[in-house]
Amino acid sequence: MKLILVRHGETQWNRSNRFQGQNDIPLNRRGLVQAGQTARALAQNPCRAVYSSPLIRTMQVAEVISQAVDRPVSKVDGLKELDLGDLEGVSGDEMRDGWRQVYDAWRENPADVSMPNGESLAQLQERAWQAFLNVEASHQDEDTLILVSHNFAIRTIVCKLLGVPLENFHKMTLGLSSICAIDSGQWGRRLVTYNSTGHLSARYK
């Protein structure tokens, strides 16, 4: 089985460097182009099913992929992004000035931080990994599955797969509209591709 994890493309909050959790922010024009390029790349191989976080920016990507691979989209709540609580829409500078203790802790050890009135990375990892397992368990070994999700959600799944502690979370990066691929079979689960953006034209990377 191959499970392909796709991060959504650019939104205006991404462009403005604002923290983007579960607020429903749509893709901007650049993000829509990225979605099209991603869909064309994924359409080159057969796909059994498409799953997506229900947030609008991921659903926009999933729907373009759905048309390209001729499969319907199934919404999975567990694939949502981290609930940032009071930090939704906040810039890094605003976080540093208004939530200094949270800012310092997030930089020093993100595994120890719970977002004010939101989630921790551990909570995100637990639900995202369970969503991954549920999708995996509902298909056959020969299937290829596409899961459209978010930056932090995908990174916590990869951390779980590789046994990387969440305190090392900041040592990973994940580009907009990037692709990760995981093989699952008789030898267990293996990360085959991480943060691939080769399907994007140079202008949209």
Sequence-separated (6 or more) residues with CB below 8 Å from residue 133: none
Between CA 61 and CA 177 the distance in angstroms is: 9
Contacts (Cβ under 8 Å, ≥6 apart) of 84: 19, 20, 21, 22, 90, 115, 118, 119
Distance CA 124, CA 194 (A): 20
CA distance 182 to 170: 21
- Residue 53: helix, strand or coil by DSSP? coil
- Long-range Cβ contact pairs of 96-100 (< 8 A, separation 24 or more): none
What residues are labeled active site? 8, 81
